[in-house]
Each structure stands twice: as C-alpha cells, then as structure tokens.
Amino acid sequence: MNAPDSPRPSALDWLVEAARVRDAEGLHRTLIPRHAGDDVLNLASNDYLGLSTDPRVITGATEAVQTWGAGATASRLVTGTTALHDDLEHELAEFLGTASALVFSSGYLANVGVITALMGRGDLIVSDGGAHASLIDGCRLSRARVVVVDRGDHEAVRTALRERTEDRAMVVTDSVYSIDGAVAPVAELYAAAREHGALLVVDEAHALGVRGRGGRGVVDELGLTGAVDLVVTAVLSKSFGSQGGLVAGPATLRDHLVDRARSFIFDTGLAPSAVGAARAALGVLRAEPDLCDRVRDNARRLAAACDAEAPSAAVVSLIIGEPADALEVARRCRADGVVVGCFRPPSVPPGTSRIRLTVRADLDADQLDRVAQVVNRARAAVVAADAVIR
C-alpha cells in the first residue's frame, strides 16, 4: 500500500519502461500519417495494381455510399447484408472458380474466422512457418493443437499429419509469403494434406491480382481451382485497393461460417463503400488482366536495379540486418521522397530486419529507376556508417 499522501501509481506505469526497452532495441514503432498532396513515391503500400485511386474504383465506392449509406449498420446476420454484398460474393466465387464465397470486414478476420469455425479442441493444425499473423492468431484462438513447421517444409507437414492422434486436421499457409513475396510449395502442401485426410487453407492475400491467370492466384496457376479439401482466403485490401477479406470454397463451408465464424457473426458487416470499390476493382481486373503482368514486370525491373533476387510476386525484399540500420535506410529513403516498408522483429527473425518494397502496376520506368537510386544510396550510406563505427 502507498502512504496516503503519495500519488497512487497508475496500473499502466510499466508501459514507460516497456517503451524504453523497445526504443533501445530499435523496435519502437511510430505511425507516420500520409497527407493529401504529399509528393512522395509510395513503395510501402499493398495497392499492387494502383486501384485504390482508380476513378472507376472510386466511383464504385461513391455509388455504394449513395445507395446504401456510410456503414453496414449491423452484423451481416442482422441488417448488414445488402444486395451489393450478395453480388460481390457471387462475383468473387465465379472469379475464383469456387461454389461460394463469404466476405468479412478484413482479411485478418476472414483467416481467424475460417480457422476457428472449423478447428477446436481435439483437432490438429499444421501451420507453415511463413504463415501470416492472422493465420497464426486463428490457430491460437481455435484451441486446437498446433504444430509449426519450417517455412515451406512440406515433408515436415506430412510427418506431423501422419503421426497425429487427432481425427481432424488442417494445414494453413500463405501462397505468397507476405515478408518477402516468395511462393510457397502449395502443390506439395496440398498433396500432403490430401494424403492424410486434412484440409488445406491457403491465404492468397499477396497472390490475388498478381499471380495466376488474370490474377486468380497461385491455386489457379497450379490447376487446383475448386479442388476438394482446399479452401482459399484472400483480401480486398491489397490488389483490389479496397478493404475486407474473403473465404472461398464449397457452399457447405459458407453455410457453416455464417453459423459459426465468430469474427463474422459478432462483427459489423463490411462497409458498402468497400464492397462497391471491390466490385469495381474486380471489374477492372477482368477487363484488364494484363495489369498483373505489369506489376510483376515492374517488380523484376526494380529488383534488378537494387541487386535483389528476382521476385516471384510484387514484393522486393532487401535484408539489411540490424533493426536500427533498417530503420535508418527507411528514414533516408523517406527524406529523399520514397516511402518504403521496414520489417523488424518480431515480424522477421532477429538479424534479418529488412526493407520491403511493394511495387505497383501504375509506376512507370522513370519512377522505378528513381526508387532504385534512392534505395541504393540509402543502403550504401548506412553500410559506410557501420564500417566507420566498427
């Protein structure tokens, strides 16, 4: 107990010390607001096709607001389902070649929803080591036993499935890993899952609009569209330039999610503007399937100019090493008018802090060359400074 005249400490006092420790480790994060009219090149967004600012997509959002209002007004199960939601779900299912699709108000919630609705105590989930945090959190919330294997290690997946004592099992993976844009061995993971009676959940967040025929993703590329025991999740917040997530699969799955996915049931429906924007974006992608070739060409050009490995998707990843150095490279890039992503632990393993450049289809060759120049200069300056210190 405190003496009566001393000020009562706050239960949040410990946050000051926690922030100091994060600061010392170079792990303190800050939010840097964008301002309308900022004259910067943005290489940190997930707006791969540049559709968030496309006039057709903006019109889609605007018309939806005018017809349906600013918010969905309630859960999808109450009054939050508009005819627009229904249309989008049918169009997404048709595009992805599945019997049905269900949209959630974010990709994060779609992943959490599908995993927790299908898996519970007494089940097994084998999680690929490169899986996005939303898949990881779905695994944790499900209360199933979770085995995490090294990224892409399909033999370890097979072993975990073979040695299980549980009846029901699921394998979860990204198709394009979010950290560096590499493609996961989806065909091998699917074969392992099928061999052992498990379901494969593939998150195509970074593949939709970027890989596969007309941007239909890695699953399409592998000829696995509509395959049994394969469920696709994806987002409307990257290539589609909008907001929201989706689960695509058989109609029985959609039905089950509507009844059982807590992140669907207890969440206000996706805002009509986001639905309208996503529908318009899907229309643009259908009309201009070469958009996904353009973004990948741009990624290859930028990677070559930065001496990076040839990218498999729209992400160019440059490993810097220590968090403070990665931050400094990002800071120098920003000072020169180029915004880049900066990934540090716990998002990446210690010692692999990096700069992530996400390319867009709407950048031209001059802009890409300028980005490479700025990034290369920033990297060289940080390496030179380190050499002096050592």
List of residues contacting ligand PMP (CB under 6 A) = 106-108, 111, 132, 134, 174, 178, 203, 205-206, 235, 237, 245
User: Amino acid identity, residue 8?
Assistant: R
**Minimum Å distance from CB 363 to ligand PMP?**
20
**Minimum Å distance from CB 233 to ligand PMP?**
7
- Residue 228, SS3? coil
Closest CA to 268 of 48, 76, 37: 76
CA 152 to CA 322: how far, in whole Å? 25
Token pair, residue 94, equals 């048709």
Closest CB to ligand PMP among 108 and 190? 108
Q: Measured at the alpha carbon of residue 312, what is the angle toward residues 307 and 316, in degrees to the nearest 5?
A: 40
Closest CB to ligand PMP among 128 and 174? 174
> Which residue has tokens 């060409």?
297
**Minimum Å distance from CB 243 to ligand PMP?**
7
Pairing of strands 245-249, 100-104: antiparallel
Closest CB to ligand PMP among 114 and 235? 235
Closest CB to ligand PMP among 196 and 296? 296
Closest CA to 204 of 241, 229, 233: 233
CA 285 to CA 289: how far, in whole Å? 5
Closest CA to 374 of 302, 320, 298: 302
User: Amino acid identity, residue 235?
Assistant: V
CA 204 to CA 299: how far, in whole Å? 18
**Minimum Å distance from CB 131 to ligand PMP?**
8
**Minimum Å distance from CB 48 to ligand PMP?**
12
**Minimum Å distance from CB 23 to ligand PMP?**
25
**Minimum Å distance from CB 20 to ligand PMP?**
29
Q: N- to C-terminal Cα distance for the chain?
A: 49
Closest CB to ligand PMP among 98 and 178? 178
The neighbour count for residue 87, using CB atoms within 10 Å, is: 13
Closest CB to ligand PMP among 81 and 134? 134
Closest CB to ligand PMP among 112 and 147? 112
Nearest residue to the partner ligand PMP, using Cβ: 107
User: Amino acid identity, residue 279?
Assistant: R
DSSP letter, residue 359: -
User: Amino acid identity, residue 6?
Assistant: S
Q: Give percent helix, percent strand, percent coil of the chain, each to the nearest 5.
A: 45, 15, 40
**Minimum Å distance from CB 136 to ligand PMP?**
10
Closest CB to ligand PMP among 244 and 332? 244
